[in-house]
Amino acid sequence: MPGDLIASLVAEDLDVDVLTVADLRKPFGASRGMARMALAAGRLLTDDALVYDDGAWHTGLHLEGTDLVRFALPGVVTVPRHVRARRVQGVVEPDVAELFTSVTAEAVATTAFGPALPQREASEWRMAAHAVGRDGRRAHGEVWGTDPYGTTARIAVRLVRDLITTGAASGVRAPAQVVDPAGFLDRLGLRWEVGARR
């Protein structure tokens, strides 16, 4: 959700050509559920990750101009619902991609149900969005915090509370379509910033 919201904020007032959503977390302990997902997904997370390009989702497109690795992030599916862009792609740090693609059945069986609280609290996460406009202007934004699992729980509770309070139209919606991105990030107490469009 933070990636979708920061992408929305970055794309404001910009005729977007390419929008890249980046999960810039550093490797840290994963839950057994995440390990199972990584084992089941395999190449769908990296080599065959979806990229939104010219109005449709594709796999196997070449990623240019970055040391980051193409990766299956939710924003590739959610962001095109509210940002008009020729291309939306997801990327991660190479060492994170390596962790996800090297999971074995034995590793899943021995992975704890989740990282211990001290490990969670010491871990940092960061989501970024970088947009290049059709006119060459660029915009960049980031949202970050600690304890990815705890943040996910806070997001779920806050979102349900907001939806009950304000109501929401029925149907499938991206996060930025049901909440005010800046207001929601602020209510969560997350740190975020969007650089000037230039």
- Summarize pLDDT for 34-47 with one digit per residue, the tens: 667 666 766 667 77
Which residue, among 59, 91, 77, has the nearest Cα to 175 in the 3D structure?
77
| pTM (predicted TM-score) | 0.83
> Which pLDDT score, from 0 to 100, does residue 183 have?
95
- Taking residues 5-33, what's their average pLDDT? 86
> Which pLDDT score, from 0 to 100, does residue 11 have?
96
Instruction: Please state which of the ranges 61-70, 137-146, 182-191 shows the lowest mean pLDDT.
Output: 61-70
Strand (E) or helix (H) holding 144: strand 138-146
CATH fit for domain 2-194, picks 1.10.1060, 3.40.50, 3.30.360, 3.30.720: 3.30.360
> Which pLDDT score, from 0 to 100, does residue 196 have?
65
8-state DSSP, 88: E
Beta partners for residue 51, in sequence order: 58
> Which pLDDT score, from 0 to 100, does residue 47 have?
72
Angle between helices 32-41 and 94-101 (to 10 degrees): 80
- Taking residues 137-165, what's their average pLDDT? 92
> Which pLDDT score, from 0 to 100, does residue 28 have?
64
